[in-house]
Amino acid sequence: MGLLIAILIAALIAFGIYRWRAMRLEELPAWVPPALFGLKLLFGFALWAVYTFYYKDRSTSDIYKFYDDAHYIHTACGENKAAFIGLMTCREDSSLTAYTSQMKNWERNFTDRMPFNENRFMIRLNAAMMLLSGENMHLHTVFFCLLSFIGCILLLKVFQRFLPDGKKKWALLTMLFPSFLFWTSGGLKESIMILALGLLLYGFLSIRERKFVTVLSFLAGALLLFVIKYFLLLCLLPAIVAYYILSGKTDMKAAGIKYLAVLALSVAVVAIVSPLAPKLDFVFLIAMKQKHAIAEAMYMKAGSYSYVPPLEQSIWSILKNLPVGLWNAMEKPYLWHTRNPMMLLSALENLALIALLVFAILYKTKRTEINFNLLFFILACTIPYLCLIGIMTPVLGNLVRYKVVVMPLLIYVAVYVADIRRGRLLLNSR
């Protein structure tokens, strides 16, 4: 019955998407947005099935661990309204212990060194959803798919804005890689990260219009990223700052120098601030996250473990290993690393992504038609994040999952640079 209710509500949402003109995409039929939502639902229910029937340990299952802990907050709503409000509003006192002591993920590693505990945010979000769902897990899948879908639509609108007529429809390709659909269509942090990224980029790249909705979108996206994955926000900040410095300079040389200078200055700021502010000690957090990830992989005997060079708590240790991180994020898992269909699919996607980028280079648009300020902005948003997850994540399954958040941006680089019509003509002539 729970599944049937979820399907009926999903159908109503899809109909609303079809009827709402704000969801329409340029050069694409009106049925494409609801079809994309339906596709995300299929992958969302596939994610639920994998974590229900294949990975059966709910205590370590990523879609269940926050959901199960949220049950105790939802219980408090009926038993103790004051405790419920305290649990939902970050209040800390002993009266909440009766509920938090039963949760397995309320606390997390390095909580005292982090500006925000994203585990608690996810638990609270699930608890808020339970007020509507009545703890119907399938409705949570629908809600998370909807939030992620909104992020996807916002990203597509941003992508289409900078593409010429006749090429806008190709922006849809950025959302169709299976691993992206799978990992961003269920009760995982990645679903919320896509919403946050969509809100932030849509608001930021439209902020010159000075409309209230664009400013609100940017601030909401930034706040959401801060609480759900703050180091991704830190990776985006240098690109955000650089984009509006000499924004009229769109040629390759001027834009390239500008972004390199801002990135170098950002590294200097991190090196200075880290020792002074423990909760902003980016260097410590990166090194400790990697150390914990390696120890956990060894303890769990992770089948997809892949060596990463150990980091020291120094900015130089991180910087010298960034190329390794970028390679890991872009190329792994290799085909010979595959142990299951999902890993094989990820390896094939890596090859497809490289093929798209090579195609874009071989059949690129004329340099005079490329806005290098925009192109380097997208690259500056993605490369630092990829470098970091590549050195922090020794388990390939996790690496694939973390990478999907910026995969639409990577694919968009290829779509933006490629002269698709020229490529077609040259390929046909052969």
pLDDT of amino acid 244: 86
Distances in Å between the alpha carbon of 196 and those of 154, 203, 218? Answer: 10, 11, 9
pLDDT of amino acid 207: 82
Residues 345/193/304/409 CA torsion (nearest 10 deg): 50
Return the domain boundaries, the chain: 232-430
pLDDT of amino acid 28: 95
Distances in Å between the alpha carbon of 258 and those of 250, 255, 398, 403? Answer: 11, 5, 33, 26
Q: How many CB atoms lie within 10 A of CB 50?
A: 15
Q: Side chain identity at 295, as an amino acid letter? A: A
The predicted-structure confidence for 95-114, as pLDDT tens digits, reads as follows 788 888 889 888 876 555 56
Q: Does the reported pTM lie above 0.85?
A: yes
pLDDT by residue for the chain (430 residues), tens only, comes to 788 999 999 999 999 999 999 999 999 999 999 999 999 999 999 999 999 988 877 877 888 999 999 999 999 998 888 889 888 987 777 778 888 888 988 887 655 556 677 889 999 999 999 999 999 999 999 999 999 999 999 999 999 999 999 899 999 999 999 999 999 999 999 999 999 999 999 999 988 776 788 999 999 999 999 999 888 998 999 999 999 887 777 788 888 999 999 999 999 988 888 777 766 678 888 888 898 888 888 877 777 888 999 998 889 999 999 999 999 999 988 888 777 788 888 999 999 999 999 989 888 888 878 899 999 999 999 999 999 999 999 999 899 999 999 999 999 999 999 987 765 555 555 5
pLDDT of amino acid 114: 61
CA gap 29, 160 in Å, rounded: 14
Q: How many CB atoms lie within 10 A of CB 336?
A: 6
pLDDT of amino acid 192: 96
Token pair in block for residue 122: 């996810």
Token pair in block for residue 311: 């980091």
